[in-house]
Amino acid sequence: MATALLVAGCGSEDPPAPPVDTVSTPIETSEVPASELSDSGATSSPGAATRTAGDPEHEWSYADGTLDEWSEVQVARPEQVEVVQDPVRPGYEYAAAFTAGPGDHTFGVTTTIRGEVRSTVAEAGSPTEGDVQWYSWSSYFPEDFEWDGEDEFLIYTQWHQESNSGSPNIDLWVTDGDDPQLRLSVRGGLLGGEVSQYTAVYDLGPLVLGEWLDHTVRIDWSADPDEGETRVWIDGERKVHAVAANLYEGQSVYFKQGIYAASNTDREHTVYFTDARRGPSRESVAIEPPGD
């Protein structure tokens, strides 16, 4: 696959299920009346074909030393996203390094900085209402990592609606300061311009620096706030079970990794990733070898 480079100027073993599947309480929520929103008009793509439960349906691999498994590389400078051999998670030969700092604006927008890769909707499985997907990957935040965005966001993984406008359906992000925390934001329902009908934010606990963090995510896609579910495990420990709308009506999603952040930073930031996988079951996306 040929990867489009867009330079815009201006783990573990299958994580054990917890004994009680407790639903997490969001730390922040919002709901906008449907009457104040208009449908974006986007139409969902057809669902993916059924495959063997033990196999990943798609893998974004760096095993050949390139970024070619991704459909696009979105950067202000080509050197912002590179395949490296240090640091590398045990069992892997390569990782991808994503960097973004002051001035790394893309698509003519000066309020954000970006160094990301993205999939197509088809590569993300074209999920629709009622579909269940699993994802996995490992991320590494260096020991000197510190987001200085003053209560603004630094997103490192996101599932984004087709229309491109508005905030993503699901994103994992980091808080600012010398005691960084991980957060999960989930949105869905109707999308009126830049406004989501339903939004919920969850606390995933402290960000561990200087270690590879194995992520496993299960997503039960729905625009209904009582039917959508997003579960996240890190290093085999379940961090959140969010019951909240995670799909916009009439739209599917694509998958992105890297750094997408507010532009109010004085520092350059780097995050590393291993291969990412998408599959129909927990075992289909198991990270090998298991983490420590």
Mean pLDDT confidence for 31-41: 61
Q: Does residue 281 carry a pLDDT above 60?
A: yes
Q: Within 20-89, where are the H helices? A: none
Cα(225)–Cα(242) distance, integer angstroms:
10
Give 64-92 pLDDT, tens digit per residue: 999 999 999 999 999 999 999 999 999 99
CATH number of the 4-8+24-285 domain: 2.60.120.200
**Per-residue pLDDT band at 18 (split at 50, 70, 90):** very low
Residue 12: its pLDDT value, please? 38
Q: Does residue 117 carry a pLDDT above 90?
A: yes
The predicted model scores a pTM of 0.86
User: Domain extents for the chain?
Assistant: 4-8+24-285
| Sign (positive or negative) of CA dihedral 212, 274, 288, 242 | positive
Residue 11: its pLDDT value, please? 39
Mean pLDDT confidence for 129-150: 97
Measured from the Cβ of residue 256, the count of other Cβ atoms closer than 10 Å reads: 23
Residue 26: its pLDDT value, please? 84
Q: Does residue 159 carry a pLDDT above 70?
A: yes
Q: Within the chain, where are the H helices? A: none
Token match 């606990």: residue?
205
Token match 């997003």: residue?
230
Cα(54)–Cα(285) distance, integer angstroms:
8
**Per-residue pLDDT band at 31 (split at 50, 70, 90):** confident
| Mean confidence (pLDDT) of the chain | 89
Give 180-191 pLDDT, tens digit per residue: 999 999 999 999
CA atoms within 13 A on the CB side of 76: 20
